[in-house]
Amino acid sequence: MHRQDIINAPWNGRAFAAAAAILSGAAYGGLALIYAALASSEQSALFLSYLHKPLLAVLNVLPAVLLSLFIWLLTDRAWCASLVTGLAVMGLSCVNFLKLTIRSDPLIAEDMFVFFEAAKAGENYSGYLRPATVLAVLAVAAITALCSLCRGRLRAPKRRIAGALVLAAVSAGLYFTVYASEDVYTKTENMERNNAYETALRDRL
């Protein structure tokens, strides 16, 4: 078999596309961690906590990887998985960055309306938000452009839908067995992050 035939082989293309979906999700998850650490008043401590407790970093990055794989299975396009995942993860990261920087108040579930607050207050906080947003847009554009080079297709719609459903079931299982586990929470407890969230929740009460 010639070298070009190996490069163009269907299985090889699908493998590259799957790898692109996984790596792009991991990249966005990693960037989200960096954004959160940069906006924290305890930057060095937060960075070190990810090194001392790698499971903490893995659990934070994994949702972005699963989302990217899910979108890839639905659309059969690595670039689409990268774009959708990037917009979702980096969009939330920018809002979280803004809240942490301005108010030392991290983003929590009931704060989804803060997207509209950020848009209305964009002029007042542009000095904080603009660099983070520009970097996020550039990251999404660069990663998506790289993923567009991976053009392998699964093509079988039924198998892709079945794979997406299995992945959704696995994600739900991980949430109830791992993310909601008290034992895992204890092993990955991050005092720097928890103190910020506890303060934010106390302010809401």
Percentage helix, strand, coil for the chain under 3-state DSSP, each rounded to 5: 80, 0, 20
Higher pLDDT, 201 or 53: 53
- Please give the structure tokens belonging to residue 10: 């269907």
Sign of CA dihedral 195, 178, 32, 47: positive
CB neighbours of 31 closer than 8 A, spacing ≥ 6?
A: 89, 90, 93, 136, 139
* Distance between CA atoms of residues 12 and 174, nearest Å: 30
- Residue 200 confidence class, pLDDT cut points 50, 70, 90: very low
Structure confidence by residue, pLDDT tens digits, 138-170: 999 999 999 998 888 888 889 999 999 999 999
End-to-end alpha carbon distance in the chain: 68
Per-residue exposure over 65-91, b if at least 16 CB sit within 10 Å of its own CB, e if not: bbbbbbbbbbbbbbbbbbbbbbeebbe
- Please give the structure tokens belonging to residue 74: 């639905």
- Judged by average pLDDT, the poorest of 36-45, 60-69, 106-115, 183-192 is 106-115
Which residue type occupies 147?
A: C
* Distance between CA atoms of residues 81 and 83, nearest Å: 6
Per-residue confidence (pLDDT) for residue 104, from 0 to 100:
62
**84 close to 73: Cβ distance less than 8 angstroms:** no
Per-residue confidence (pLDDT) for residue 186, from 0 to 100:
79
| Max intra-chain CA distance, the chain | 68
For the cut 90, the answer to whether the pLDDT of residue 66 exceeds it is: yes
Which residue type occupies 141?
A: A
- The pTM of this model reads 0.77
Per-residue confidence (pLDDT) for residue 164, from 0 to 100:
95
Higher pLDDT, 187 or 57: 57
